Each structure stands twice: as C-alpha cells, then as structure tokens.
C-alpha cells in the first residue's frame, strides 16, 4: 500500500509541476495539456485526494521502513505546496483581470465585484461544477438550416425581458469535434441570470465537411439570430459573439467579416445587417497560417491539422485562402470591439498568437480591445467554475454590457440635423484662427471630420464629453494620425457645439472606422465643392 500511495503522490506532484511549468517538446508537450489542465483546474481536489491517500495508508498501516515513510511524507508535502500555489494563482487571477480591464488603454471598464455575481455563488465556485440555473428555459435543437448539425439551443429565463441582448456562443474542438452543450457554461449561466438570451450552436465538422463548411454554418446561424431571435425575446441589433479555441477563431472571423458576403446563405438575402456589437475570444486560434513568429514551435502542428483534416489543401499553394480565414489578417479600421483572454501556459495556442493579434488590432482598428493575459493558465481553463473563471466572466459581462447599450434610431429628423446647414463646420488652422471647412479643403485638399462627442446623438454632459475627447485624441496620436481641431455648430442653437477632428491623408475606411469606434451615426467628407454626410453603418450618403 505504501508503494501505491507513493506512486500516486509522485503522479500528483508531477501533474502539478506540469501545470506550473508545462513542457513544450516531445512527450512532455503531448502530456502538458491533458495532465496540466486537470492539475491546474482541480488543485483543491488534488489536495483532497492526497489527504485521502494518507488517511488510507494510516488505516492500512504506516510503513515501518524509514526511507519509505520519508518518501511518502516528502511527496505529500510537495503535492500540498504545489496545489496550494495553484489555488492561490486562481484567486490572484481576480486581481490580474480587474487591473487589465480598469487600466486598459481603450476606454477602461469597471468590473462587477464577486458579490454582484447573479449566479456564480461561492459554493458553486468551490464545487467547480457548472450547474445551470433552475429557472432557465432551454429550447433545444432548434433547426437553423437543412443539415443534421444545423441545430442550436436558446437559453433564457421566464423573467427575461423583451428586447434582451444576445450572446451567441460557438464551441471549440479543433474544427473536428465538440458540441453546443459542452463549453462556456459557467460564463453563459451568468449571462442568462443577468437577463441575456444565450444562443449556442452545432456546426458541421471536419474532416467529413472540409472548410469553409464551419464558417458557413456559423454565418448561417447568425442570419437565423438576426431573423428569429426576437421571437425568443432577443434584440437582433444587440448581439455579441463568443467562442473558445477553434470556436474563438470562428467567432472572431464572423465578427471581422460582416461586410463579406461569401459565406452567407443565398436564402437569407433579406438579412441586411450582419454586423455584431462585439466579439469575445477565449484562447482563440487568431492566426491561421502557422507563422512561427507567433506560434513559437506550435505552428507546424496547426498547419498539419488544417492541411490534413480541416481545409484539406496545402498551405504553400493556397496561402491566400489561409490568410482569408485568419482573424489576424482580417483586422480593419472599422472592426468591432474585441475582448481577448489568453493563458500564458497554454500549450495548444501560444500566448504570442494573442499578443500579436492584440498589437495589430490596436494599430489598425479604432474600436476598443480589452486583453487579459492569465499567468500559469492552460487551455480550456473555463470548463470549470473556478475563481479564475468567475473573474473572467465578470470581465466578459462588463465588456458585453458596455457594447450592447440600447441605441436610438437614426430618424429623418436626426438625418436632417446632420446636414450642412443646419450644421456649420469650422477648422482650426492656427492657434486663434478658425476657417470654414470648405475653404480649408480648397487650400489643403479633401479631408474627413469625426467627433467623439455625444455618441449616437445622445446628449452627454460636458465633463463626460471632455473625457472622451482626451481619450479620442490620445487614440489617434497613438496610431500616428495627424489631425486639426474642428467644431460643428448648430446655426439654430438647438444642439450644443461638438468638438471633433479633421483627418487629412486618410482613406474613407479609416474615417469610417474612427467614427464607428467612437459610436457615431455619421461622419463628414469635406472637399472644396461641399460637405457630404455619410452613415457609419452603411457608408452611404445621408440625404
């Protein structure tokens, strides 16, 4: 019995060591995820199991051999210390997450406190079992297309209000396995209890259904949500998409492809708005070419999986195709807001993949991005209801609520108020010199005028607008954009002056991205012949 206890204790010690410092080569790399995940997420159970083993050995009869007794004691001590360290790390994650959100360079967000959780109670967190709310209504296996895997579930409460925001969740599984019932449950249960509609889907899997079947199905399900979610009480204009691992890839890709019609089903042509309010990627595969500058040795395995099972085409002869399915290569100035979570100890998706995506997004896009990097954290950490999972859930809630605020409609009266006149645009060309925008365009060439004031034409207090202006200009400066100050004045004095910027030497895509990133209905295109008002949502001229 003593040898058996020593053997199991040695395994527990090595497992915890793998969770703290996973291997990245050979057999150690192969075992890093399955062994390290269990040890990292079930540290309390590891200590309990060690205690049970010692109790069993005491009942059986403690070994009289000195060296064997010392070995058992030593191994037990190592197991307890390692697992206590892992438990402390999960609680430390609360601080890491809060600081990442509150000190983000992109419009910091305050997080709810643990006491404000609607469903993630302390005892559920202690048990780490993702129970669902008893009052949750589950509409199972609703068809969203003709194929067997075209099935989705809708979660809600009996008390969920109408026009509720929607979180659309895509499961992971290397594009080859997985099910809508298996992943993201601790987070999604919290969203349900907070009055959200949750939609989870199945989609066709490789290798039986090669790419692009997966993104076609994810896009088709989004079309179903836009058409039908109001029947279940959801607001089709207030949808965020989320996913983990391969699901994080698909969620990010559909969010970054709202203007790309190639994956849309032809029978959904009546759906005009394919945009999403935001995307949440949990340890997502955000780069799909296997670039080793991002993957640090894991890229070959990704390409092998894609070439043999998913895409089923060689990368070297189809590099354009691979880049088209890579979220990293699809970031644009008008990309929607993002929320990215990545574990540093992830041995399936290297942390540099997320870092590269975040860096590029902040260089190119103008919407906010929130990035949380979790120390000593393995892939799929959020399958259990741990303190770490509850912390990132609170962050996800703060992000999703911030991007799904109800927006007023762009009414004809509001469109008329944007025209020039009644708005008069002035540009500051010197310290005390302001000129009419058209006159400036005649001297300097065409430009665009964008403001951060009064998002979606909702009148904000001057102090709030001033804070937004400072962050707005800092964002432009960080991206290397030069600008002149502008003021938009209502000649009838029915609306306060709005301070903005005149952007020269940029394309319309950048101007539109700036306006979308700062929650505007419209922006101005100015040349010597006149001022054109363009809608941010469609980029069409507002007349």
Element at 539 (helix H, strand E): none
d(CA 5, CA 510): 64
Q: Is 468 exposed, middle or buried (0-12, 13-18, 19+ CB in 10 A)?
A: buried
Predicted confidence (pLDDT) at residue 123 exceeds the cutoff of 60: no
Q: What is the mean pLDDT of the chain?
A: 93
SS3 438: helix
Q: Is 379 a catalytic residue?
A: yes
> Of 175, 107, 48, 144, which is closest to residue 517 (Cα–Cα)?
107
Q: Is 143 exposed, middle or buried (0-12, 13-18, 19+ CB in 10 A)?
A: exposed
d(CA 485, CA 323): 38
Over residues 442-452, the pLDDT tens digits come to 999 999 999 99
Looking at 346, 382, 453, 519, which residue is catalytic? 346
Q: How confident is the model at residue 61, as a pLDDT?
A: 84
- The 10 Å Cβ neighbour count of residue 293 is 9
End-to-end CA distance of the chain: 84
Looking at 379, 390, 452, 457, which residue is catalytic? 379
Residue 31 pLDDT level (bands cut at 50, 70, 90): confident
Every domain of the chain and the residues it spans: 2-97, 129-403, 412-535
Looking at 9, 15, 93, 245, which residue is catalytic? 245
Query: Listing from the earlier edge strand, what are the strands of the sheet with 433-436?
Result: 433-436, 423-430, 483-490, 498-503, 447-451, 522-527, 530-535
Over residues 277-323, the pLDDT tens digits come to 999 999 999 999 999 999 999 999 999 999 999 999 999 999 999 99
Q: Is 245 a catalytic residue?
A: yes
d(CA 286, CA 193): 30
Predicted confidence (pLDDT) at residue 122 exceeds the cutoff of 60: no
Answer left, alpha or beta for residue 22, where phi above 0 means left and psi between -120 and 50 means alpha: beta
Over residues 389-400, the pLDDT tens digits come to 999 999 999 999
Tokens matching residue 55: 């109790």
CATH no. of 129-403: 3.40.50.1820
Q: Is 249 a catalytic residue?
A: no
d(CA 203, CA 215): 9
Over residues 56-94, the pLDDT tens digits come to 888 888 877 888 888 888 999 999 999 999 999 999 999
Supply the pTM of this predicted model. 0.94
d(CA 43, CA 387): 12
Q: How confident is the model at residue 62, as a pLDDT?
A: 81
d(CA 400, CA 255): 14
534 and 525 in contact (C-beta within 8 Å)? yes
56 and 8 in contact (C-beta within 8 Å)? no
């Amino acid at each position: 019995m003593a040898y058996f206890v020593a053997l199991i204790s040695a395994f527990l010690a090595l497992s915890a060591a793998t969770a703290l410092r996973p291997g990245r080569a050979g057999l150690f790399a192969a075992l890093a995820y399955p062994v390290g995940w269990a040890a990292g997420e079930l540290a309390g159970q590891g200590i309990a199991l060690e205690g049970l083993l010692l109790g069993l050995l005491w009942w059986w009869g403690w070994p009289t051999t000195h060296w064997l007794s010392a070995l058992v004691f030593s191994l037990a001590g190592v197991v307890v210390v390692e697992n206590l360290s892992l438990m402390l790390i999960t609680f430390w994650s609360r601080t890491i997450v809060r600081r990442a959100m509150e000190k983000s360079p992109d419009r910091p967000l305050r997080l709810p406190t643990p006491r404000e959780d609607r469903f993630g109670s302390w005892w559920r967190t202690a048990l780490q079992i993702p129970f669902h709310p008893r009052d949750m209504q589950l509409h199972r296996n609703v068809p969203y297309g003709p194929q067997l895997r075209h099935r989705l579930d809708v979660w809600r409460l009996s008390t969920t209000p109408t026009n509720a925001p929607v979180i659309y969740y895509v499961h992971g599984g290397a594009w080859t396995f997985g099910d809508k019932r298996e992943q993201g449950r601790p987070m999604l249960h919290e969203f349900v209890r907070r009055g959200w509609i949750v939609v989870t889907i199945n989609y066709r899997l490789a290798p039986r259904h090669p790419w692009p079947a997966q993104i076609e199905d994810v896009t088709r399900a989004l079309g179903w949500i836009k058409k039908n979610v109001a029947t279940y009480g959801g607001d089709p204009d207030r949808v965020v998409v989320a996913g983990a691992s391969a699901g994080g890839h698909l969620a990010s890709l559909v969010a970054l492809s709202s203007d790309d019609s190639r994956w849309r089903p032809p029978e959904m042509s009546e759906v005009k708005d394919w945009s999403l309010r935001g995307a949440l990627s949990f340890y997502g595969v955000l780069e799909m070419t296997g670039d080793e500058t991002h993957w640090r040795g894991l890229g070959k395995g990704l390409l092998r999986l894609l070439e043999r099972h998913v895409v089923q085409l060689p990368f070297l002869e189809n590099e354009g195709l691979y880049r088209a399915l890579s979220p990293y290569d699809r970031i644009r100035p008008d990309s929607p807001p993002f929320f990215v979570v990545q574990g540093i100890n992830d041995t399936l998706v290297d942390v540099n993949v997320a870092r590269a995506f975040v860096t590029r997004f902040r260089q190119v896009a103008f919407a906010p991005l929130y990035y949380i990097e979790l120390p000593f954290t393995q892939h799929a950490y959020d399958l259990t209801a741990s303190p770490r999972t509850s912390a990132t859930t609170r962050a996800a809630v703060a992000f999703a609520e911030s991007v799904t605020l109800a927006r007023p409609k762009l009414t004809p009266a509001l469109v008329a108020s944007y025209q020039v006149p009644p708005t008069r645009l002035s540009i500051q060309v010197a310290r005390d010199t302001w000129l009419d925008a058209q006159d400036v365009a005649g001297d300097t060439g065409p430009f665009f005028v964008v403001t951060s004031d009064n998002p979606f034409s909702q009148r904000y207090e001057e102090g709030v607008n001033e804070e937004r202006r400072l962050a707005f200009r800092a964002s432009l400066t960080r991206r290397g954009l030069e600008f002149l100050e502008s003021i938009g004045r209502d000649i009838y004095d029915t609306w306060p002056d709005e301070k903005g910027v005149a952007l020269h030497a940029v394309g319309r895509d950048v101007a539109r991205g700036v306006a979308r990133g700062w929650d505007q209905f419209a922006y101005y295109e100015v040349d010597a012949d006149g001022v054109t008002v363009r809608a941010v949502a469609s980029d069409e001229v507002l007349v």
